[in-house]
Amino acid sequence: MRAEKPQKSLTMKTVADFSFQYAIYLVFIALILVITIREPSFLSLNNFRNILSMSATRIIIAMGMGAVLITGGVDLSAGRMVGLAAVLSASLLQSLEYSRRMYPDLPALPLVVPILVAMLGCGLFGFLNGLFIAKLKVPAFIATLGSMVAVYGATSLYFDRPPYGAQPIGGLDRRFIALGTGYVGFDGVYSIPYIVIIAAVITLITYVLFNKTTYGKNIYAIGGNAEAARVSGVNVGRTLIVVYTMAGLLYGLGGSLEAARTGGATNNYGNGYELDAIAACVVGGVSNLGGIGTVPGIVVGVLIFSVINYGLTFINMSPYWQQIVKGAIIIAAVALDIRKYLTKR
């Protein structure tokens, strides 16, 4: 009997350690099971496809935010950059037949050109964020807070232009709409939306950058201990500038695809997206203290909130209760993150 106790204790410890390390994935599975028990029809290919479509642009944005958080920083300007990208790309990709075009004499541009313009615009603001933080030593919270306000002002100035003023940008080119709503494969559930494919490619590239390159090692080193990283030869300033610039480029891509998916844009697009991205990253295991985080975890974090938004609406749960569930998950994730940090110490 005495020989069995250590084995039992070891088994229980193993289960507890597994649950502790993979809690976010267990929560994700449990959430799907609860919704499915309540409404079995939720577990269908069509719903799965819809959730992936909803999540695609959020995943791209969260990849940029995840890199920033891993360095121990934060980017409050992400949502406003999404809005800037949506307005820029939509204004340059309006249909030639649309009577209220922002640029009446602009010819039909190749689809990639306005998207690149939007990405470069957001990348410029990301570069400035990195410059202020790395070279002028402005705290990331303050630098990106100021940038958030400035980007919104710039977007609003661009958006509120004569002769139509601050009117929603509509009448988008069919090619652009197809990018946001089209798919590969058979019509219906047996198809993969273009934006899901793009998000998958960005996720794969980010995974390789985080795990297989010097860039990835450097961002984890900076988040773990910036001074130790500097002593070991990491160019902390340059790395931070690259991180914030790349984050801006990803916000630009996500904002452009969001405009294509929804079929229009206003200067208020993206409002609050930065908080959603931060929440998804934290829930997905990215440490708010820096130095810890994985690409699969970020994806799962985004999917959890998409399942909450889509799944709880599917079972007719009150939006107010949905907010309570979201808040509880965020608090639990941060508490788990701090517990892991204390355990490692």
The per-residue DSSP string of 80-129 comes to HHHHHHHHHHHHHSB-TT-TT-SSTTPPPPPTHHHHHHHHHHHHHHHHHH
Residue 182's closest CA among 173, 200, 194?
Answer: 194
What phi and psi values does residue 284 have, to the nearest 5 degrees? -80, 5
Kind of pairing, strands 191-193 and 183-185?
A: antiparallel
CA dihedral of 108, 113, 118, 122, whole degrees rounded to 10: -160
User: CA 331 to CA 282: how far, in whole Å?
Assistant: 10
Residue type, 296: P
Mean pLDDT in consecutive groups of 10 residues from the start of the chain, 345 residues: 52 67 76 87 86 94 96 96 96 91 90 96 97 95 96 93 78 94 78 94 96 94 93 94 97 96 91 92 86 92 89 85 83 71 56
The per-residue DSSP string of 34-57 comes to HHHHH-GGGSSHHHHHHHHHHHHH
Tens digit of each residue's pLDDT (9 = 90 or more) over 101-137? 888 889 999 999 999 999 999 999 999 999 999 999 9
pTM of the model: 0.89
Residue type, 315: I
Residue type, 263: G
Tens digit of each residue's pLDDT (9 = 90 or more) over 138-170? 999 999 999 999 999 999 999 887 766 778 898
In the block, residue with structure tokens 């889509």 = 310
